[in-house]
Amino acid sequence: METVIGHNVYGDGRIVVYAGKGASHSWTWLADLFDSVPQAEAVFVDESEMTGALNDGCSRVVVSGGDAFQIARCLSRSRFGTVETFVRNGGHYVGICAGAYLPLPSSVSPLSEFNLSTTKIENILADFHTESGYSERLSLSYCDRTIVHPVRGEVLLDVFGELVAPLYGGPIFHEPSVDEVVFRYTGFTERSQFNIGLKEATGMVVGKPAAIRSRVGEGSLLLIGPHLEHPGYSRANVIFLELLDINAEPGRSPRAEEPTGGVVDAKLRGALADLRVAISGLENRSFLVGRKLWDAERLLVLHRAVDSRAQFIGSSETAAIVSELRLARDALVRSDDDSGAVDRALDALMSAARRAVNSRFQHPPASDDFIRAHHDSFRNEG
């Protein structure tokens, strides 16, 4: 068994999650998962807030899925330097999917500014072509080569026995010479969707590292291809928490009562309703923002991040969130005639979602007596 799950590897401290430009909707899965664990403290930041957050007593920084090139551009130069210093001084970087690509060795700018791991990837080809043209879900142009996504959806992993989790473009690692293999890909399920032939996908994926750990100075990198934090995979969620030394099964979070008494501001409720209508009107359209494909379903995930936490949004944040939701709605309505409208809508909706999630995490956990009294119900609802 190669799975490496230590105790107190990361120590205590707040978790910083990147949720800025280039990030996909998947950071909200981390928000939901950490929210389900009373002892998990997290803050969700954009690129402008990253440096301050890392200098404010955190122990881990997590970068999840999205457009690795856009994230790299936003974090390049001084911000990459801040992350590297944070790790070398004993901090821990957790990269998932796009976030796992960032520290890998690269000669392509701006990825070349963050070469902290020595491990290369298996899913890169020099002569890959597709008749259907460019597809974000199939491949990604990388200099004179192509990063290929051989399979999408469920894959099998060897984490304390057989584990199922989804893969959405994350790396398949080459066998490392220095870094440590945490767990491997072992196969597929009936729900695996193949972008290349089964034989070719099997050769590229099965038996190859799915997660690695790199030691950098006093700290470490934990780089994970599949999304163990996906809300549809509860056992994978538990394993992910254990990998981060958060030893609790997810369930309903016993945080303090909402400051609004459960009453949602009327303007906020209206802005959420109007935005939902605008998103629903997109029907089957999709939009390429940077190198990342967005559609109505992914936008609704960000909408739900706000809607599900509306009762935790205090008056100090309500006006800003309402303004951002309305900006997003107006931009989407104009998206047929304005090529930059979706970008503006996404920026506004991302900001609103970050504000809502951070409002939720500002409320401290309930008392230990309350947590113990409700432990079983929290676990059963997970």
Model confidence over 9-44: pLDDT tens digits? 444 578 999 999 999 999 999 999 999 888 789 999
- Please enumerate in sequence order all residues whose Cβ is within 8 A of that of 97, keeping only pairs 6 or more positions apart, or say none: 26, 64, 65, 66, 168, 169, 170, 171, 224, 225, 226, 227
Peptide linkage before 110 cis (omega within 30 of 0): yes
Is 196 in a helix, a strand, or coil? coil
Whether the per-residue pLDDT at 254 is higher than 50: the answer is yes
CA distances for 342 relative to 78, 167, 294, 323, 355, angstroms: 28, 26, 9, 16, 20
Helix (H) or strand (E) holding 201: helix 198-205
Q: From CA 152, how far away is CA 116, in angstroms rounded? A: 27
State the average pLDDT over residues 199-220. 96
Percent with pLDDT over 70 in the chain:
80
Nearest CA to 241 out of 25, 24, 42 is that of 42
| 14-243 CATH fold | Rossmann fold (3.40.50)
| Average confidence (pLDDT) over 49-75 | 92
Q: Which 3 state secondary structure label does DSSP give 252?
A: coil
Tens digit of each residue's pLDDT (9 = 90 or more) over 225-247: 999 999 999 999 999 999 999 87
Average confidence (pLDDT) over 257-268: 74
> What's residue 12's pLDDT?
56
Residues 86-108 have a mean pLDDT of 94
Task: Give pLDDT, residue 126.
Answer: 66
Given a cut of 50, whether residue 148 has pLDDT beyond it is: yes
Amino acid 33 reads: L
